[in-house]
Structure 1
Amino acid sequence: MRKVLLVLTMAALIAATAMSFGCRPRTKVRDIVLSEVIHSIFYAPQYVALHKGFFLAEGLNVRLEVAQGADRGAAALLSGAAQVALFGSEAAIYTWQQGALNPIIAFALLCQRDGSFLVGRTPDPDFTWRDVVGRTIIGGRRGGVPQMVLEYVLNEHGVTPQGDVTIIQNIGLGATAAAFAEGTGDYVQLWEPAASRLVNAGAGYIVAAMGKYSGVLPYTAFHATKTYMRENPDVILGFTRAIYRAQRWVQTTPAAEIAATIQPSFPDMALADMTAIIARYKELGVWATNPLIPREAFDHLQNIMLAAGELSSKAPFADVVNTEIAERVVNERR
């Protein structure tokens, strides 16, 4: 009888734990590969979902891989090397524009503003965008959302890209900080923790936060192929639940606690530096409060792409974005 009671007690504890995570008990764990465009504190809610066990609570064993570019992340989805990928939704629009038979679909928003910073060689507390005229900026890959947003911001401030200012576009995302430190360019566009590492090394100074100027757009969202979403709706639903739970937690949690939670993903970063970075990102409002991708934000992205000359016509919202899953997840909490 004591053995029976012990088994029943353990079963009750397992069920209670599952319920405490806001999900139903699961007997099967699914392994999925999540490709992230770069490894950055900018994606803090994603690491929260990983380290707080939110993915596992939904029956998902998530393994992260770094793509070093949205184009490579999209390729990982199309080849089946990854099941979910985090990158700017411009890559999904490109697959639509190319008439892909198995298009890439954006299903959950993570970052709603640009999370990069413009880093210069000298302190400039009175920086204006006119200061870059006649200078050289190390930017991103042509056609990528970071590069197109940079061009959008420059144009909005009366500075013509590749006219008033030279933008280097042929250095890989993982090499831009090193190139700047070695003397290339007058400014460089960087994400955290790369920006703070340059500052701490005395090799650069943050002069502008791009998130102040980008507007709201699906700067970084989670994507999967249309076929994978159709064949694995439980995976996409559970993944979105985990992300939404992380988004809510981040919104109500102090920066220091967030930093301590995600530090295993950045073991070489000092906790104080991570806390300052997260506080800055929270102040900028870069993180979406829920996974829904607003139509107006998607339109803003496509307008930026049109202005950059990278899009011939706008993609229909429903052809590139799936809101049904995010809506279901958000409504579950009401």
Structure 2
Amino acid sequence: MEIANPIYDVVFKYLMEDARVAKIFLSAVTGLDILSLEMLPQELSVDANDDKRPKATVLSLSIYRLDFSAKIREADGQESVIIIEIQKSKFTNESMRFRKYLGKQYMNGNFFQWVRKDNGRSYKSGLPILPIYILGERIRGFEEVPIINIDLAISDRYSGQPIYGRHHFIDALFHKGIIINVPALSQARRNELEQLLSIFDQANRQENHHIMNVKETDFPERFRPIIRRLQAAVQESEVRDIMTVEDDFLAELNEYESRLAEADQQKEEAVRKQEEAVRKQEEAVRLLLRLGVPREEVAAQLGLSLEDLPELDG
């Protein structure tokens, strides 16, 4: 069957706008027992004022973001609320933008819960944030790892013994994380999660890259609403049009990056040639001076001022 390619931001947005589908997807990715899920206001593009690149290039570099407030059931049966933050980018060199947005989330005054102390008084504590990064570029050193899990390890500094207790203070300030390493998903089908995330495997895409070919029966029954949602996206003309716009942005980005790389290469070559010319000139000056040629004549022959000769000679 044909499904829309969720590596495109517009397709992923369409997928996650379905509350039931989003809950299935995030429950699988996080491994959490999600009881309810609420999509929070979204941020699609970066602030162009923070970037001196052409506007289209900035748009093509934008990181797609989705935030959810999730009520989850803990292992001990208690219920709590966390923020699940999804940041999706085609590139791995956007870590500063990731950090900037994550920092904004920590500063968001709406992401808090009331915590009651033993004396009966209550205070505000930040909600735990679980970031999920979906990256379209291979991560060096993790080429064969499709899903990278970053966990918290709390321990006694003196003894090194792990501590398994929890506290709102720690939950509010330190976080776990998940990275979906899209290029490493190819042929990785070792468990149900990797089977689900194969929807991002670009080896399944057709020639125009917008459409992917998959077999619905390759996915566990509980994940099939996700596949059907992506199948429905193929029929949405607006989704198809925006995928074409994303292609145009990416093509412009590639051209821009190529021009930058070429300019850098030319600059490096010019610097190398200049350094080589200076080195040869210094060698000529030292040779002539060792042969007893007067400084005035050396300067005249090489087109230098007398003031330059002592420095070169030194």
Same fold (TM over 0.5): no
Structure label with greater radius of gyration:
2
* TM-score between the two structures when normalised by the length of structure 2: 0.26
* TM-score between the two structures when normalised by the length of structure 1: 0.25
User: Which one has more relative contact order, counting CA pairs under 8 Å at least 6 apart?
Assistant: 1
